[in-house]
Amino acid sequence: MQVTIYHNPACGTSRNVLAMIQNSGEEPLVIEYLKTPPSRAELSDLIQRMGVPVRSVLREKGTPYHELGLDNPDLTDDALLDAMMAHPILINRPIVVTDLGVRLCRPSETVLEILPNPQRGTFTKEDGEAVIDAAGQRVDKPGHE
């Protein structure tokens, strides 16, 4: 099974997801999508496989989202895809692909839903938040079931 991550190494969430993939024993195919963006057809396929609206994959923070008027609700999916093709920074990240599904892994723990193997040890995010304990179990956040 191949695990693929569309990754931005400058993004903490993306780095955490990559580390969780590796903590499960997988060495993923890492696609730095700002250097090697997916084709329009690939991106459209990823979004369709995620089962989410195109708009939900748009990133606002640190992008030309507002300058390009992408907050206009009348824009079509094709127009939004055109914008992401012209400005790959608009593609939210990280997107992870496994045989178990495709997810936009925000929050980073979302990746746990589609990894083929369990975590092999404790995992703590870069910010110090514990995600996986010594028994390999997910650490519940206060206020979450």
Q: How far is CA 88 from CA 25, 113, 118, 132, 135, in A?
A: 29, 26, 31, 32, 39
> Could you please report the per-residue DSSP string of 24-90?
TT--PEEEETTTSPPPHHHHHHHHHHHT--GGGGB--TTSSTTTTTTT-TT--HHHHHHHHHH-GGG
Annotated catalytic residue within 5, 11, 58, 96: 11
Does the active-site annotation cover 105?
no
The residues annotated with a catalytic role in the active site are 11
